[in-house]
């Protein structure tokens, strides 16, 4: 076996990413036998299709419009989540997102394409569309993550405009919050609006995007899971994609979205993989009930699934079969 192949195989084994049978399945010339990326063979894959966390009708409408007109999944997810970034009534994404405890609105976003390229911005201020800055990071720089002032400077260089992200409502809420300055790291169980979106285009190619203002009144400088590739979002065009919403710290601890994609690679359905993802988190938080996490996944066949800690998480799905808001099962009833 060539050294390069040996190293490749040993690192995959060490990471537990391929089964023993796949490794030992060598022909007489000691060349690795190709093993399928997904255990199930697509009979009639559903495409195009788009899914997103929560009941974001307008965002999925927009993404569907892109997909239906023959657009790529990358354009679909970017333009889809931009709808929420611009919607000032959504107070955890883009303009109108709630600030941190120092009164700064700081945004996190990432995007990932069919070739495994990705871009991300963290702690970005004064820009309405962090997802588009993340795409520029992916396409115009040799880097993956830009943070804070550097990300903001880069955005201006790319032609993005400076804009106050506060709205009258979020400023008023913040001023009221200052009266008590109660610091809670948990996100209200009923109140999550982060948008994670996954799409498969007519070519069968998969992309994803995720964007948020994170936890309201977080410590200045805090970054959640949403812009962290593998945590809040992960896409593998051979297997599927996953995204998350909820308390980011818990998602980061298990590298949730990457875990779910790898579970699908090993043959689990999107539903089974999301359930396992939540169970891993709950194992580290035995008895804890004061937080919500919602996972959403899609595989290459266009099958989807979701699971959450508490009832209430839903996801939108839009394909030729229709446009639906799906309720998902939860760990606690
Ligand atoms: C975060 N996961 O920053 C995000 C928050 C979120 O709905 O999903 N809110 O931790």
Full DSSP string of 18-36: S-HHHHH-B-TT-PBPP--
pLDDT in tens, 46-62: 999 999 999 999 999 99
Maximum separation of any 2 CA atoms in the chain, in Å: 74
pLDDT in tens, 57-78: 999 999 999 999 999 999 999 9
72 is in an annotated binding site: no
- Ligand 1: residues with CB < 6 A are 92, 187, 192-194, 212, 214-215, 224-226, 245-248
Angstrom CA distances, 253 to 14, 33, 204, 228, 258, stand at: 20, 34, 31, 11, 12
pTM of the model: 0.88
For the domain bounded by 49-330, which CATH number is listed? 3.60.20.30
97 is in an annotated binding site: no
| Nearest to 198, CA basis, from 323, 298, 314, 327 | 298
How would you classify the pairing of strands 304-308 and 329-330?
A: parallel
User: What percent of the chain has a predicted confidence (pLDDT) above 90?
Assistant: 80
pLDDT in tens, 214-263: 998 999 999 999 999 999 999 999 999 999 999 999 999 999 999 999 99
Catalytic residue flag (residue 185):
no
Q: CB of 245 within 8 A of CB of 294? A: yes
What is the domain partition of the chain in residue ranges?
Answer: 1-33, 49-330
Residue 111 has pLDDT above 80, yes or no: yes
On the 0-12 / 13-18 / 19+ scale of CB atoms within 10 A, 131 is buried
Residue 6 has pLDDT above 80, yes or no: no
Is the dihedral angle over the CA atoms 126, 252, 259, 151 positive or is it negative? positive
On the 0-12 / 13-18 / 19+ scale of CB atoms within 10 A, 2 is exposed
d(CA 279, CA 78): 30
DSSP state of 94: S
Query: Which residues on adjacent β-strands are paired with residue 236?
Result: 240
- The H or E element that residue 308 is part of is strand 304-308
Q: CB of 297 within 8 A of CB of 305? A: yes
d(CA 25, CA 135): 39
17 CA distance to ligand 1 middle (Å): 28
45 CA distance to ligand 1 middle (Å): 31
Q: CB of 121 within 8 A of CB of 108? A: yes
pLDDT in tens, 143-156: 999 999 999 999 99
Residue 97 has pLDDT above 70, yes or no: yes
**More confident of the two residues 43 and 112:** 112
d(CA 252, CA 121): 16
Report residue 75: phi and psi, to 5°.
-65, -40
> Which of 54, 90, 92, when mutated, tests ligand 1's pocket best, judged by the most ligand atoms within 8 Å of its CB?
92
Q: How far is CA 27 from the centre of its chain?
A: 39
Across the chain, mean pLDDT equals 88
Given 194, 212, 254, 314, which residue is catalytic? 194
Residue 37 has pLDDT above 70, yes or no: no
224 is in an annotated binding site: yes
Query: Helix H segments across the chain?
Result: 3-14, 20-24, 57-68, 73-86, 130-140, 148-157, 168-180, 248-253, 256-265, 270-283
* Segment 267-292 mean pLDDT: 95
**More confident of the two residues 16 and 299:** 299
Residue with tokens 């700081």: 106
Is the dihedral angle over the CA atoms 73, 211, 111, 235 positive or is it negative? negative
């Amino acid at each position: 076996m060539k050294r390069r192949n040996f190293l490749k195989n040993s690192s995959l084994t060490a990471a537990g990413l391929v089964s023993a049978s796949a490794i030992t399945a060598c022909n007489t010339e000691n060349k690795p036998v190709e093993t399928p990326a997904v255990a199930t063979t697509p009979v009639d894959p559903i495409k195009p299709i788009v899914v997103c966390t929560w009941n974001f009708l307008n965002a999925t409408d927009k993404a569907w419009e892109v997909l239906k007109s023959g657009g790529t999944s990358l354009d679909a997810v970017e333009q889809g989540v931009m709808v929420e970034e611009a919607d000032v009534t959504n107070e955890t994404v883009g303009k109108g997102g709630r600030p941190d405890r120092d009164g700064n609105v700081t945004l996190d976003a990432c995007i990932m394409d069919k070739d495994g390229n990705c871009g991300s911005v963290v702690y970005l201020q004064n820009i309405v569309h962090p997802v588009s800055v993340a795409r520029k990071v992916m396409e115009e720089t040799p880097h993956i993550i830009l943070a804070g002032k550097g990300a903001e400077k880069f955005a201006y260089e790319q032609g993005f405009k400076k804009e106050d992200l506060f709205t009258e409502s979020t400023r008023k809420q913040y001023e009221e919050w200052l009266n008590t300055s109660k610091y809670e790291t948990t996100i209200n169980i009923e109140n999550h609006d982060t948008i994670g979106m996954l799409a498969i285009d007519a070519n069968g190619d998969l992309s994803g995007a995720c964007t948020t203002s994170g936890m309201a009144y977080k410590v200045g400088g805090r970054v959640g899971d949403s812009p962290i590739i593998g945590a809040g979002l992960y896409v593998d065009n051979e297997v599927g994609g996953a995204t998350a919403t909820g308390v980011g710290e818990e998602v980061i601890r298990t590298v949730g979205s990457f875990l779910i994609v790898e579970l699908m690679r090993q043959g689990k359905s999107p539903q089974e993989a999301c359930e396992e993802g939540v169970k891993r988190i709950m194992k580290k938080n035995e008895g804890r009930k004061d937080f919500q996490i919602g996972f959403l996944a899609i595989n290459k066949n266009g099958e989807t699934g979701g699971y959450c800690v508490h009832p209430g998480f839903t996801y939108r799905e839009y394909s030729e079969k229709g446009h639906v808001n799906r309720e998902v099962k939860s760990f606690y009833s």
